Amino acid sequence: MTFAMQELPGEFTSFNFPPNVPAPFNMAAAILTNFDMLTVEEKLRMVPGLLPMLTEGQSFIDAQDELSVLEFMDKYGMPRRINDEIFIAMGKALDFIDPDKLSMTVVLTAMNRFINEADGSQTAFLDGNQPDRLCAPMKAHIEARGGEVRVGAPVHEILTDADGKVSGLAMRDGSTITADVYISAMPVDVVKRLTPAAWSTMPYFQQLDELEGIPVINVHLWFDRKLNSVDGLCFSRSPLLSVYADMSTCCDEYASDDASMLELVFAPCSPIAGGDTNWIAKSDDEIVDATMGELARLFPTEIAADPAWPATAQQGPAGQARLRKHAIVRVPRSVYAATPGRNKYRPSQATPIANFVLAGDFTSQKFLGSMEGAILGGKLAAELVCDRALGGDGAPLKPVSQEVVERAASAAPKGPIGVRGEHAIAFGGGQQGLGTDALHP
């Protein structure tokens, strides 16, 4: 885990997990041997809050979901500097939210992986772009086994029969698709827009109203020269930037010894995530200028003063790197906002509908709203379908919170709003550009 040093611009420090050392001793070594970020006293004052992860395990982690990161720190007497040095960066990297609004369960879930898995702290990158290196192999795998992958085929409505089971999917082109079992891997915000009226008063589906996607912005910057960088993900500890990587160092497809290409997570980017500004609504130039200003502050000897970007105006003559081009991708609804108290509303993969199963990172599983969570949610959904196909019952329904059950009892049925638009942003994806200038390469 590598952090940019705010007090020493242009320098980095790392928590190095020693190889061939089993967890949790590797994490202890990583923390104890880093002297750049926390004092010995601060490290010791973290112990009372983190030790129960070892002694009580997942039950302790789940029980902290009602507390924000800052509330948890106050409860266990942790100095606020630990938040400034560690938890702000972790919180924004894990869920794009500042610690005063983030559930402590999110941070503890990540740290629990570090404690219990020798490789739990490692990050990796695809060796190329996602369509070619991830999506295409998945599509080929499915088709080689007799499956079919349809793109550009949006669902208009989930059709139900008299007993509430799915009878088919009405597609936007007017066709209907029928199947034995239907698995939804849609984001939670899209599931809510397509929930049939017959399901809308069920407590299981009512609880989804408590989950909402968080906005995030991805910034892609191409420079005219190579920047000082690390081979891996870097926590910026910036008020605006979460994590970033120099893809010219980390990824084969973008590899270059002469010029850097940075990919950065811009967060928090809206008030719901703890930010003061609704950056999602800002222009590309405003977002890039703010990003360049933060990079200039973090790396004053590298980023040039460029009239095109006013935020760099205070840069001295040492900085020479200029921006050649940029791309901004807005995701108005990404992973669910893991504010305190959300875990109890995450639904099981099993639903009250016999032939309808939920996948997705927001479903109930041990990981966060993340790639790992999406994969595990999909795996659990597939296991449920396979178990039932073999005559078993599969994993049971997760109990719904009593307050939701009581609310659902007086709820009136409501029809689905539906999804408007044809591009990825309508279905929870990202978009370049704004309004009529939107780009969908």
Backbone dihedral angles phi then psi of residue 323, each to the nearest 5 degrees? -80, 130
Q: How far apart are CA 299 and CA 225, in angstroms?
A: 14
The sign of the dihedral angle between the CA atoms of 314, 320, 324, 326 is: negative
d(CA 320, CA 301): 8
Tokens of 387: 């178990």
Handedness of CA 166, 172, 174, 176 (dihedral sign): negative
User: Is 362 within 8 Å of 211 (Cβ atoms)?
Assistant: yes
Mean pLDDT, each 10-residue run in order, the chain (441 residues): 69 77 76 81 88 86 94 94 85 86 90 74 81 93 96 93 96 96 96 96 97 93 92 82 90 93 90 85 95 90 94 90 95 91 96 97 90 93 96 94 96 92 80 68 51
Whole-model pTM over 0.95: no
Burial of 396 (0-12, 13-18, 19+ CB in 10 A): exposed
CB atoms within 10 A of CB 10: 15
- Pick from 248, 252, 249, 251: nearest CA to 261: 248
| DSSP code per residue over 372-413 | HHHHHHHHHHHHHHHHHHTT---SPPPPPPHHHHHHHHTPPP
The alpha carbon dihedral of 43, 47, 53, 54 has a sign of: positive
Sheet holding 166-171, edge to edge: 155-160, 166-171, 176-177
Type of residue found at 331: V
What is the residue type of 313? A
d(CA 441, CA 432): 8
What are the chain's domains?
Answer: 2-116 (no CATH), 155-212+337-418 (3.50.50), 216-331 (3.30.9)
Which residue shows structure tokens 């040093």?
Answer: 5
Contact 315, 303 (CB under 8 A): yes
Kindly report the three-state secondary structure assignment for every residue of 138-197.
HHHHHHHCCCCCCCCCCEEEEEECCCCCEEEEEECCCCEECCCCEEECCCHHHHHHHCCH
Centroid of chain to Cα 3 = 19
Q: What's residue 32's pLDDT?
A: 80
CA torsion, points 311, 297, 275, 323, in degrees to nearest 10? 50
Cα–Cα distance, 264 to 217 (Å, whole number): 8
Token digits of residue 147:
């499956």
> What is the spatial distance between Cα 244 and Cα 93, in angstroms, rounded to a whole number?
9
Which pLDDT does position 209 carry in this prediction?
96
Bridge partners of 432? 329, 439
Whole-number Å distance between alpha carbons of 96 and 274: 9
pLDDT in the model for residue 58: 85
- The 10 Å Cβ neighbour count of residue 43 is 16
